[in-house]
Amino acid sequence: DAGITQSPRYKITETGRQVTLMCHQTWSHSYMFWYRQDLGHGLRLIYYSAAADITDKGEVPDGYVVSRSKTENFPLTLESATRSQTSVYFCASSGRTNEKLFFGSGTQLSVL
Amino acid sequence: GQQVMQIPQYQHVQEGEDFTTYCNSSTTLSNIQWYKQRPGGHPVFLIQLVKSGEVKKQKRLTFQFGEAKKNSSLHITATQTTDVGTYFCAGRPPNTNAGKSTFGDGTTLTVKP
């Protein structure tokens, strides 16, 4: 849906570099999420946020940092990228009472 | 931790055949959601089931939530080429917040015309 946008769409970086993936939603949804999707696997939760300034770890948080200073933005930072972080990253959002997830179009990240 | 298993991992059908994917959780679930992801696309919400034994239909798609709220299924009648994609279930244990749903690994459906 156009209401949640991710950038960049594609990113190539080198091991050890810091990279930030952006996520912006226009619905004022309370919850925002970051997932990674690897070939042959489902979606694994990295971090989520229930509201501005409230974040919590998901299933695979190591090597990632998030912040949420504004409700509409939820950037994901890889502080020192590793090859194992090569993946497709999806941002998602949902309202407080309706748990339906709206996903962004994804960022395909390659770490060389 | 909670595990959500989906079977089969892949399913190839002839157009017009039926298709079913199953989702099984190691723990009781508060609710279960189903998503569809087209090749190269992002997951799109299909439905949420909340009640024990619940059955919901969307045209040719039938969703069921087990009596024990530990398993669920998605059945597609008379598949079409537009049904191609990966179907994911996502379940949330009781007494956890909305961020705690776990996704299954998905079932990838291919349809031969």
pLDDT of residue B49: 96
CB contact under 8 A, A42 and B106: yes
pLDDT at A1 over 60: no
pLDDT band at B34 (very low <50, low <70, confident <90, very high): very high
pLDDT, one tens digit per residue, over A2-29 is 699 999 999 999 999 999 999 999 998 9
| Nearest chain A residue to B89, by CA | A42
Q: How far apart, in whole angstroms, are the C-alpha atoms of residue A74 and residue B4?
A: 27
- Strand pairing report for A64-66 and B107-112: unpaired
pLDDT, one tens digit per residue, over A80-102 is 999 999 999 999 999 877 689 99
Average pLDDT of chain A to the nearest whole number: 94
Percentage of chain A exceeding pLDDT 90: 88
Q: Which two tokens stand for residue A63?
A: 């090597």
Tell me the nearest-neighbour CA distance from B61 into chain A, angstroms: 18
pLDDT at B14 over 90: yes
Cα–Cα distance list, B110 to A108, B12, B82, B84 (Å): 23, 5, 10, 5
Contacts of A92 in chain B (CB under 8 A): 43
Average pLDDT of chain B to the nearest whole number: 94
pLDDT at B1 over 70: no
Quick one: chain B helix, strand, coil %, rounded to 5?
Answer: 5, 55, 40
Helix (H, G, I), strand (E, B) or coil at B82: helix
pLDDT at B113 over 80: yes
CB contact under 8 A, A43 and B43: yes
Contacts of B35 in chain A (CB under 8 A): 101
Cα–Cα distance list, A79 to A16, A63, A65, B32, B110 (Å): 8, 7, 7, 34, 38
